[in-house]
Amino acid sequence: MKTLLLLPVLLLAALVALLTGPASAGPSAPPAERPVIVEVEGDKANGFGIHHADGSAIFPPTDSEAAAECSEYDTRLARVRCRVEVRTWYRDLGDLQRSLAWVRAHE
């Protein structure tokens, strides 16, 4: 479940990196706690691979595995909240994957 909690942070870091680009006035390398995403492969049914500029990668669980983890919560509200977060994260990963492909096609 910790991997799922990192997804919003990673998505935000990737979007900031794409928007600011190399011409930004900030430091040339992002802070270590927010690595730049350079590739997203896979899909929600078979699992995503998220690759960073520093060579590291993470592989979040598939959407069905994440949804199964949600069923372990005690209250119905917590289970529903978890499922909504899972759907949102995987939708956002798909959007990020398409965005990265678009950027590469227009470089």
Amino acid 106 reads H
**Token pair recorded at residue 49:** 């691979």
Q: List b or e across 45-80, with b for residues whose CB sees 16 or more CB atoms inside 10 angstroms.
A: eebbebbbeeeeeeebbbbeebbeebeeeeeeeeee
Query: Which of 23 and 78 is assigned the larger pLDDT?
Result: 78
Domain ranges of the chain: 2-105
- Average pLDDT of the residues in 49-56: 90
Contact 100, 39 (CB under 8 A): yes
Q: How many Cα atoms within 13 Å fall on the side-chain side of residue 32? A: 0
**Token pair recorded at residue 103:** 């950027």
Does this model's pTM top 0.75? My answer is: no
Residue 72 pLDDT > 50: yes
Most confident of 19-23, 25-29, 34-38, 74-78: 74-78
Contact 67, 86 (CB under 8 A): yes
Query: Which residues 6+ apart lie within 8 Å of 103 measured at CB?
Result: 18
- Average pLDDT of the residues in 4-28: 47
